Structure 1
Amino acid sequence: MSRIGKNPIPIPDKVNVTVDGKHVTVKGPKGELEQLLPDHVEVVQEDGNVIVRRLGESRKARERHGLSRSLVANMVQGVSQGYEKRLTVQGVGYRAQVQGTTLVLNVGYSHPIEIQPPDGVQFQVAERNTEIVITGINKEIVGNLAAQIRAVRPPEVYKGKGIRYKGEYVRQKAGKAGKK
Structure 2
Amino acid sequence: MSRIAKYPIEIPAEVQAKIDGENIVVSGKLGTLTQFLNKDVKVELLDNKISFSLVQVTEQSKAMIGTLRALISNMVIGVSKGFERKLLLVGVGYRASVQNNTVKLQLGFSHDVLYSLPTGISAEIASPTEILIKGIDKQAVGQVAAKIRSYRSPEPYKGKGIRYADEKVMLKEAKKK
CA distance in 2, matches of 1:131, 1:157: 20
- Residue 73 of structure 1 corresponds to 73
Q: Deviations over 1:20-77 (max 9, x none)?
A: 2320001100000011122211211112101122212111110100001011111111
- Residue 45 of structure 1 corresponds to 45
Alignment of 1:16-27 (within 5 A): 16-27=16-27
- Residue 141 of structure 2 corresponds to 142
Question: How many residue pairs are counted as aligned between the two chains?
Answer: 177
Q: Does the CA contact (< 8 Å) of 1:94 and 1:106 recur in 2?
A: yes
Q: Does the CA contact (< 8 Å) of 1:43 and 1:51 recur in 2?
A: yes
Quote how far apart the aligned CAs of 1:7 are: 1.1
CA distance in 1, matches of 2:15, 2:113: 38
> Which is further off, 33-42 or 72-81?
33-42
CA distance in 2, matches of 1:107, 1:14: 42
CA distance in 1, matches of 2:5, 2:132: 31
CA distance in 1, matches of 2:7, 2:117: 34
- Residue 132 of structure 1 corresponds to 131
Alignment of 1:24-173 (within 5 A): 24-127=24-127, 129-173=128-172
What is the CA RMSD across the aligned residues, in angstroms? 0.9
Quote how far apart the aligned CAs of 1:99 are: 1.2
Quote how far apart the aligned CAs of 1:94 are: 0.5
Quote how far apart the aligned CAs of 1:4 are: 1.1
In structure 1, give the amino acid aligned to 2:152.
R
TM-score by length of 2: 0.97
Equivalent position SS for 2:4: coil
Which consecutive unaligned segments of at least 5 residues does structure 2 have? Answer: none
Would you identify which runs of 4 or more consecutive aligned residues in structure 1 move more than 4 Å?
none
In structure 1, give the amino acid aligned to 2:80.
S
In structure 1, give the amino acid aligned to 2:41.
V
Q: Does the CA contact (< 8 Å) of 1:21 and 1:42 recur in 2?
A: no
CA distance in 1, matches of 2:28, 2:53: 24
Quote how far apart the aligned CAs of 1:108 are: 1.1
